[in-house]
Structure 1
Amino acid sequence: MMKGLKIVTIGGGSSYTPELIEGFINRYDKLPVSELWLVDIEAGREKLEITADLARRMIKRAGVPITLHTTLDRREALSGADFVTTQMRIGQLEARIKDERIPISHGLLGQETNGAGGLFKGLRTIPVILDICKDIRELCPDAWLINFTNPVGMVTEAVYRYGVHDKVIGLCNVPIGMEKSIAEILQKDQKEIFVTFAGLNHMVYANHVYENGVDVIQKVMDNWGEQSVQNIQALEWDSHFVKALGAIPCPYHRYFYMSKETLEEEKEKYAQHGTRAEQVQKIEEELFALYKNPDLDIKPKQLEQRGGAYYSDAACNLICSIYNDTRDIQVVNTYNHGAIDFIGYNEAVEISCIITKNGPIPIAAGDLPKSVHGLVSQIKSFEVAGAEAAVTGDYDKTLMALMINPLVASQTEARIVLDELLEAHKEFLPQFFRNKKLR
């Protein structure tokens, strides 16, 4: 008889949690979860209870023996855990609104994981994740931490550089969506193709597409048009550019390869409808109204509108593969360990990996096309600088991190946006204000 697993989800009141519950239920025969703890903070108590009630109804409907607990004390939950997942938003959606509104008001792209907004989400998140790692080392040192809190790349980089627990894997749903799109282009079932990915989080490229053992990436490049995700405008890719690039870009590459067009669209949307975060707020209100329905005992279809569909299912799949030592291939954020030639050996990359009970083993991508080296290296530098800024609370290092990002590119605007965002998020950035002047 298999030993029951204890899994802890920090940020359990997230609207994504029903997908996580569905994933554990669907895999119960291979992943015997006996205890599931949903952890949140006082500000998230109401959502935590609503989500937990729905989760219990889902578990009851499925008839699986999973005991669900809720707590506001993560240390209580972590003791003896086998796996920990993190899906947090420090400052909640109000913080994301500021991350998007303040940069765009100064003519800079405001986005959750890129540019100034992405940096500040990292500054708020990294110290909390590092504290969680300390608790894990003390209370459940053998546990794997599966993080899908954005910005995943910067957070993973920070844990590898400054953390005390190295059994940490970052996860993103973008490669899953890209693979679905590639299968549609080829008019194949996903199981009939094999796609390899390499790069960084939200800066990942598909570098091979195999069909019956033949690399058909050129065919995909010819047809890589309006591929997008929920929270990114579907500006069409120029097939000539994609072929010249030599790899298939992800939806987030629009921020870098179509910066001018994307900025103009963001300004227009900002003027007409507000930020993406404000749209997400409305979607979340609708979702939690659904979750309250005592007759609802399945994951509602509307959750896919949220923009992060498949994150939680990917986490369940990853946990299942580690537990069962399946040695299948998944795309995760992990140590590079020589897989990408021009990235540091112990730096975080997003790459196709063989998943084992000992963690991910990256599949060597070798030398990605020269055309992408500059941009990938620049964003890697941004992640490294952002991680250092988050840990030190140093104003000058934060300004440098901001300036490294190609979506900023203005020293004057960078200082203005930096000062406004620091003041706006003061409550969640104590490392910048503790017993010292900022500058």
Structure 2
Amino acid sequence: MKERFSIVIAGGGSTYTPEIILMLLDNLDKLPLRAIKLYDNDEERQNKVAKACEILVKEKDSSIDFIATTDPETAYTDVDFCLAHIRVGQLPMRELDEKIPLKYGVVGQETCGPGGIAYGMRSIAGVLENIEYMEKYSPNCWMLNYSNPAAIVAEACRRIKPNARVINICDMPIGMEHNTAEILGFKSRKEMDIRYFGLNHFGWWTSIKDKEGNEHIHRLIGHQLKYGNCAVNDDPSKYSDNSWQETARKVKDLVQIDPTMTPSSYLQYYLYPDDMVAHSDPNYTRANQVIDGREKRVFTECKRIEEKGTAKDTSLEIGIHAEFIVDLATALAYNTHERMLLIVENNGAIENFPADAMVEIPCIVGKDGYEALSIGKIPTFQKGLMEQQVAVEKLVVDAWQEGSYNKLWQALTLSKIVPSANVAKKILDDFIEVNKGYWPELK
């Protein structure tokens, strides 16, 4: 009989938590569980999903212990995996991350540009705190960290917790690969072997082969040049809101810049920031859409499950984005040598790129962690964009460690999304005002 594992979900009050639990419960044959714990420092928010999650667990397998707690010792004692998706400041701070830049005609987005920088300055302490709890109470635990902004968080972990059992990962490429599989006619993204390089939310696919070794990247690029990432007869109902369909269409413009590889859709914010601002409502941003849509929908359904005492006929669904978590945990637990995209220290994998940069590349995962695959040299255009963005991320962590106003001003000024040092300073001063209590004091 396989060993059964204990998991803690840090950021238990997230609206994604029920989807993650459903994914875990759907994969008990791959990753048997003895305990699922929710941990959050906001008890009221966590309680909005906790009882429904407990019902989901008990109806699937009553032998699995379920705990929801705000106590770090209870949460982290006797756990094998921590799934970390914390959001310091929650959605009200995300709303400010998005709206303050838009005041100055600059992209307002949660992980890209000024919004990502502000969020990163809040996230670092929260992630480090959870690593310390893990190391204190379960030193052999692996943390699978997908807290945003993943690139800044990963750089902070590299510097401050270099020996921690933390693997930084993001679900965005998984979502895009599902889309790619659909476009190319594969039943699953797992029928594809991909080559990819870049940074988090900032990368390119260079090869998509089937299991017989046949290359399909040119077929995908041909499609994208006509339709972007939309299917030929795209069904709008598959998108949770219109902005995702617009993002899929925008890939058509992104791929034209270099039609030898296929880009992450997040590059729209860096390469077409004027278009992004023109299509943004400075009074109603993505955070508002999430609060009025996803958050309301999930909390309402969780309340219904709690009141009924059963999850029968629930509208909650397994999150596709959550499948990489099960794959990664399974690879670590059973030494499967699964090939996965991770955010890791470069160390020569990209030959003509700094060794200490945190890059997103394919890795082979086993019980001792990961081994990065060699990428070789990358082209000048992509290399130049990445070097600029890595410098931004490093300056943010410098600013956090040193409490340096100037380093954060430099980070904002260097961001490809921000037009000048003048605008960067205005955004920074506004951010400092609203982030009191979240950021270190800057001098």
> TM-score by structure 1 length?
0.90
**Residue 270 of structure 1 aligns with which residue?**
282
Question: Which of these residues, 83, 95, 116, is aligned with residue 97 of structure 1?
Answer: 95
Structural RMSD (CA): 2.2
How far 1:92 sits from its partner (Å)?
A: 1.0
**8 Å Cα contact 1:246/1:369 also seen in 2:** no
- Are residues 135 and 154 of structure 1, via their aligned partners in 2, closer, same or farther at CA, if it must alter by over 3 Å? same
**8 Å Cα contact 1:287/1:302 also seen in 2:** yes
- Are residues 261 and 301 of structure 1, via their aligned partners in 2, closer, same or farther at CA, if it must alter by over 3 Å? farther
Structure 1 stretches of 4+ moved >6 Å: none
Letter matched to residue 387 of structure 1: V
**Residue 435 of structure 1 aligns with which residue?**
none
The 2-side partners of 1:297 and 1:241 are apart by: 43
Question: Which of these residues, 263, 277, 295, is aligned with residue 249 of structure 1?
Answer: 263
Aligned: 1:398 with 2:408: yes
- Are residues 210 and 301 of structure 1, via their aligned partners in 2, closer, same or farther at CA, if it must alter by over 3 Å? farther
The 2-side partners of 1:243 and 1:124 are apart by: 34
Which stretches in structure 2 are left out of the alignment for 5+ residues?
231-238
Secondary structure in 2 matching 1:219: helix
**8 Å Cα contact 1:50/1:288 also seen in 2:** yes
**Residue 300 of structure 2 aligns with which residue?**
289
The 2-side partners of 1:241 and 1:317 are apart by: 30
Question: Which of these residues, 67, 70, 92, is aligned with residue 68 of structure 2?
Answer: 70
The 2-side partners of 1:301 and 1:383 are apart by: 39
- Are residues 243 and 92 of structure 1, via their aligned partners in 2, closer, same or farther at CA, if it must alter by over 3 Å? closer
- Are residues 39 and 157 of structure 1, via their aligned partners in 2, closer, same or farther at CA, if it must alter by over 3 Å? same
**Residue 139 of structure 1 aligns with which residue?**
137
**Residue 334 of structure 1 aligns with which residue?**
344
**Residue 234 of structure 2 aligns with which residue?**
none
The 2-side partners of 1:81 and 1:362 are apart by: 26
**Residue 394 of structure 2 aligns with which residue?**
384
The 2-side partners of 1:100 and 1:240 are apart by: 22
Moved more, 313-322 or 109-118: 313-322
> TM-score by structure 2 length?
0.90
The 2-side partners of 1:175 and 1:141 are apart by: 30
How far 1:136 sits from its partner (Å)?
A: 2.2
Letter matched to residue 384 of structure 1: K
The 1-side partners of 2:388 and 2:332 are apart by: 32
Aligned: 1:150 with 2:148: yes
**8 Å Cα contact 2:254/2:267 also seen in 1:** no
- Are residues 77 and 302 of structure 1, via their aligned partners in 2, closer, same or farther at CA, if it must alter by over 3 Å? closer
What does 1:9-408 correspond to in 2, within 5 Å? 9-41=9-41, 44-163=42-161, 165-190=163-188, 191-211=190-210, 212-224=212-224, 225-227=227-229, 232=244, 233-234=246-247, 235-238=249-252, 241-242=255-256, 244-266=258-280, 269-271=281-283, 274-283=284-293, 284-294=295-305, 295=308, 297=311, 301=315, 309-408=319-418
- Are residues 241 and 15 of structure 1, via their aligned partners in 2, closer, same or farther at CA, if it must alter by over 3 Å? closer
Q: Count the aligned residue pairs.
A: 423
Deviation per residue, 1:293-344 (Å, 9 max, x gap): 134527955668xxxx533332122112211111111112123232212333
The 1-side partners of 2:201 and 2:177 are apart by: 15
The 2-side partners of 1:132 and 1:238 are apart by: 40
**8 Å Cα contact 1:153/1:348 also seen in 2:** yes
- Are residues 317 and 297 of structure 1, via their aligned partners in 2, closer, same or farther at CA, if it must alter by over 3 Å? farther
The 2-side partners of 1:141 and 1:207 are apart by: 38
- Are residues 421 and 243 of structure 1, via their aligned partners in 2, closer, same or farther at CA, if it must alter by over 3 Å? closer
- Are residues 215 and 144 of structure 1, via their aligned partners in 2, closer, same or farther at CA, if it must alter by over 3 Å? same
**8 Å Cα contact 2:124/2:156 also seen in 1:** yes
**8 Å Cα contact 2:392/2:414 also seen in 1:** yes
**8 Å Cα contact 1:33/1:66 also seen in 2:** yes
Which stretches in structure 1 are left out of the alignment for 5+ residues?
433-437
How far 1:133 sits from its partner (Å)?
A: 1.9
